[in-house]
Amino acid sequence: MSGWAEAADLVGATLLLLGCLQCLLGVIGMLRFPDVLSRSHAATKPQTLGILLVLVGVALRLRHGIDLGTLALIVFFQFLTSPVASHLVARSAYRTGQTGSRGLLRDDLDPQLSPGERPEE
């Protein structure tokens, strides 16, 4: 029993370290990428994975039922709200022209948004 507890502590500390490293890498990506969409990409995915790893690590170190329920709720709400914010930021970035579209080969949304023109068939 004590051996299992020590193993869970060690695995929890390792997952905490990996999750915090993932968060740090995401922030470094936010600093280095050129425009809003790629920065949002660099922000969202490593943050989500990092938060998941950190919370699993904490759950392995504090092994009580109520704490596990709270951590599961935190993971649930994080996974529920993070795509909403990311989607709204990306939509607003496209509609205010901050997407860096000079590197874009083909833009399927542009003819849908411009009011007077039909896309060529």
Partner 1 sequence: MTTLNAVEDAMLAASAVMVLLAGALLLYRIWYGPSMLDRAVALDVAAALIIAGVSVKAAQDGDSFYFPVMLVLAFLGFTGSVGIARFIAVRDRPSVRADGREDHR
Distance separating alpha carbons of residues 86 and 70, to the nearest angstrom: 24
Residue 85 CA to residue 75 CA, distance in Å, equals: 16
Q: Token pair for residue 83? A: 């795509």
Q: Report CA torsion sign: 48, 50, 53, 56.
A: negative
Of 96 and 120, which has the nearer Cβ to partner 1? 96
Quick check: 84 binds partner 1 (CB under 8 A)?
yes
Tell whether residue 5 is a contact of partner 1 (CB under 8 A): no
Binding mask 8-47 for partner 1 (x = CB under 8 A): -xx-xxx-xx-xxx-xx-xxx-xx----x--xx--xx--x
Closest distance of CB 46 from partner 1, Å: 9
- The smaller minimum CB distance to partner 1, of residues 41 and 111, is found at 41
Q: Where are the beta strands (DSSP E) in the chain?
A: none
